[in-house]
Chains A and B, each alone.
Chain A
Amino acid sequence: MRFELEIVSPEKLLLARQVDMVVLPAAEGELGVLVEHAPMIVMMRGGPIRLYEGEQVTDTLFVSGGFAEITPSRVTVLADEATPLAEVSRAEGERRLAAAQAAYEATDKLDVPALDRAMNRIQAAQAMIESAQAP
């Protein structure tokens, strides 16, 4: 049983097709979604989205954060930015990590929401480096 998966970024509709399963990097851990999943809205941290057709991973995209809306027949991913894994570069990840760490140092340590946001940026950058390493 397949369901419709859509991945959209603010700039364009990146992908729309039928898949058997999708694994999302949800805020509280990876989340595998099959057809007829209960309706959910999840926040995503930076990480890879894996598309399964049959038993195979057919595509992997790296997202730096965003949201996913899950309904029994459809999954819509609103990504801040999504790149096919093959195009994720380690250097870019490292550059972002450095920028994120600098931003973290610069934030007021008493401003908890801002610290959380800076922390998320660091995690997204680290996830990017990790995804780039994997073959």
Chain B
Amino acid sequence: MPSLKALRTRINSVKSTQKITSAMKMVAASKLRRAQTQAEAARPYAERMERMLASLAAGAASSPTAPPLLIGTGKEQVHLLVPVTGDRGLAGAFNSSVARLTRELARRLESQGRTVKMLTVGRKGRDILRRDFASRIVGEVSLAGKRTVGFADAQEIAARIVGMLEAGEFDICTLVFNRFASVISQVPTETRLIPAPLPAQEEAATDGARAEVEFEPDEETILAELLPRALAIQVYRAMLENAAGFYGAQMTAMDNATRNAGDMIKRLTLNYNRARQANITKELIEIISGAEAV
């Protein structure tokens, strides 16, 4: 049986932990709202970009001079994985689930004899993956210290990916990130960036209308300008979903922690009161038996 004093200290320490976790939950909730609004605001551009790209890419994909961003390098040897994670922890399994999916992907590709390279976005993912794949990490991007994700950050990452493609450093690029399904559920997902996935089924329907579209300056130039932007948009979207998902996960994790701390306080208080009562009873018995002896 721990002493009364020890119990008291223990209760106080759990109480202050609870205060911290509940404050963190509140902060995460308000940041989540901001991140969600930002993610929603980015949707129209991404949707329209996709539509435009679909109408452009259909014709270009079959031509032999199609840019590698669209059709890839024609090989499948070197894979670049881009795991997007948060910069901080205390968010449950949020970061480790992306890391796990990345690890599984990398293992599978390597067992097929492919070469794997990684470009990590977010500090936590790098920290986790460094343990097993230190030699495969070719670059890292940290967003620590930034309050919100800007499109410029995504453009920077996209420019790096394009640069690596032009230098022939990889053939296929895959993005791994937590898709924001809801506040309490984030699903680790892999999306292929290069070669660009095309919405194949829609093309047949729009083909007739497409033929009449005019281009200025010309199809190829537009496509060459459009593709890096489309890539940046996809990265941007993943980063926004990652941000929103991170706060969602953190909120849930902190909510659980607050509840657990509450349970623990209840249990400790019960123990404390029992010990106090036992002490009082013991003292009474001592006094009474002392008085009887006189």
Q: List the interface of chain A (C-beta within 8 A of B).
A: 6, 8-13, 26-28, 31, 38-43, 67, 69, 76, 78, 80, 113
> What's the interface size class on B, roughly?
20 to 34
- Assembly CA distance A10 to B38 (angstroms): 10
Provide the bound-state CA to CA distance between A67 and B215, in Å.
11
Residue pairs across A and B with Cβ atoms less than 8 A apart, 9 shown, are A9-B151, A11-B150, A13-B44, A38-B212, A39-B213, A41-B222, A42-B216, A43-B216, A113-B224
B45-53, B85-93, B277-285 - the one binding chain A: B45-53
Tell me whether A28 and B45 are in contact in the complex, defined as CB-CB below 8 angstroms, given that A41-B52, A41-B56, A41-B222 are known contacts. no
* A81: nearest chain-B partner, CB-CB: B151
**CB of B294 within 8 Å of the partner chain:** no
A28 to B215, CA, bound (A): 11
Return A66 CB to nearest CB of chain B, in Å.
8
Q: Report yes or no: B42 in contact with A39, Cβ–Cβ below 8 A.
A: no
B224 to chain A, nearest CB (A): 8
Would you call B55 an interface residue if the criterion is a C-beta within 8 Å of the partner chain's C-beta atoms?
A: yes
B213 and A10 contacting across the interface, CB-CB below 8 Å: no
Given A28-B217, A43-B217, also A8-B55 (CB < 8 A): no
Which B210-250 residues sit within 8 Å CB-CB of chain A?
A: 212-217, 221-222, 224-226, 229, 232-233, 236
Name which residue of chain A comes closest to B222, CB basis.
A43
Confirm or deny: B209 has a beta carbon within 8 angstroms of a beta carbon on chain A: yes
Q: Which residue of A lies closest to B148 (CB)?
A: A11
Contact A10 B233 (CB under 8 A): yes
User: Nearest-CB distance from B235 to chain A (Å)?
Assistant: 11
Contact B216 A78 (CB under 8 A): no
Measured CB to CB, the closest approach of chain B to A55, in angstroms, equals 26
Chain B residues with Cβ below 8 Å from A27 are 216-217
Task: Please name all residues of chain A whose beta carbon is closer than 8 Å to the beta carbon of B1 when the two chains form the complex.
Answer: none
**Distance from B156 Cβ to chain A, minimum over Cβ atoms (Å):** 13
Q: Are A10 and B236 in contact (CB under 8 A)?
A: yes
| Set of chain A residues within 8 Å of B214, measured between Cβ atoms | 38-41
B41 interface contact, C-beta 8 A? yes
Residues of B contacting A80 in the complex (Cβ-Cβ under 8 angstroms): 229
Q: Which 4 A-B pairs have the closest CB atoms?
A: A12-B41, A10-B151, A13-B44, A42-B216
- Asked whether A78 and B49 contact (CB < 8 A) given A39-B214, A41-B55, A42-B215, the answer is yes
For B222, what are the chain A residues with a Cβ–Cβ distance below 8 Å?
Answer: 41-43, 67
A46 to B45 Cα, complex, angstroms: 19
B217 to chain A, nearest CB (A): 5
Beta-carbon nearest neighbor of A10 in chain B: B151
CB contact under 8 A between A11 and B216, given known A41-B222, A67-B52, A76-B48: no
Closest to B43 in A: A13
